[in-house]
Structure 1
């Protein structure tokens, strides 16, 4: 396994653990890609049984989207796992999150202060 794939696997483990610890459930599947100054994280199987039930109605769906997106952003901003910065040897700047309730998938983009691939 080349160094880039090894780093992506390490990041997937840290992110899965973080989400399980702070959200109560980690994703069933996770794919991490390092690209430029970003870490792209695609996940499947994020929702808890309660969130799936609530999201059956449109108002519930919107509440789950807002709670998942905003809550996870806030958690990362307050409790950003230092292991991520150690793995990529760069400083975290910001993140963007979107979730698709019907497909139970999400995309998170972490932005760092420099190109990541060159520093690995």
Structure 2
């Protein structure tokens, strides 16, 4: 199993645990010290209902971008990611396009991620 696939599974597990559902589809690319994850199918049914109004759209966007960053304040969740990629998480950038239900999260690590290996964990 590739490190990208394992990273995607871990991100989905973390999001599902914290938000109630994980993304339907995740694609992650490692570029130097960055893990860039594109996630499709993030919104819950309640959020889809809420975004029908302008205020709901704003609330869901703010909640989703703020919540994602707060998820990674949990040391145990961060440790799982760090153990997988064998690097320390330095920063995280997150945004979501509510209309297309596509989220992007960039995880910045302290060193380049080696992708030419299969992790046996």
* Count of aligned pairs: 116
Which residue of the other structure, out of 79, 84, 89, is the alignment partner of 1:82?
79
Is 1:71–2:87 an aligned residue pair?
A: no
Structure 2-normalised TM-score?
Answer: 0.90
SS class of match (1:93): strand
SS class of match (2:72): helix
Q: Deviations over 1:79-117 (max 9, x none)?
A: 433221111110001100010011001000000111113
In structure 1, what is the equivalent of residue 58 of structure 2? 62
Task: Provide the rounded CA distance (Å) in 1 between the counterparts of 2:116 and 2:91.
Answer: 19
Task: Provide the rounded CA distance (Å) in 2 between the counterparts of 1:103 and 1:118.
Answer: 29
Is 1:92–2:67 an aligned residue pair?
A: no
What root-mean-square deviation, in Å, do the aligned CA atoms of Structure 1 and Structure 2 show? Answer: 1.6
Shift in Å at residue 118 of structure 1?
7.5
SS class of match (1:81): helix
In structure 1, what is the equivalent of residue 25 of structure 2? 29
In structure 2, what is the equivalent of residue 101 of structure 1? 98
Shift in Å at residue 119 of structure 1?
9.0
Task: Provide the rounded CA distance (Å) in 2 between the counterparts of 1:51 and 1:32.
Answer: 24
Task: Provide the rounded CA distance (Å) in 2 between the counterparts of 1:42 and 1:57.
Answer: 25
Shift in Å at residue 78 of structure 1?
2.6
Structure 1-normalised TM-score?
Answer: 0.90
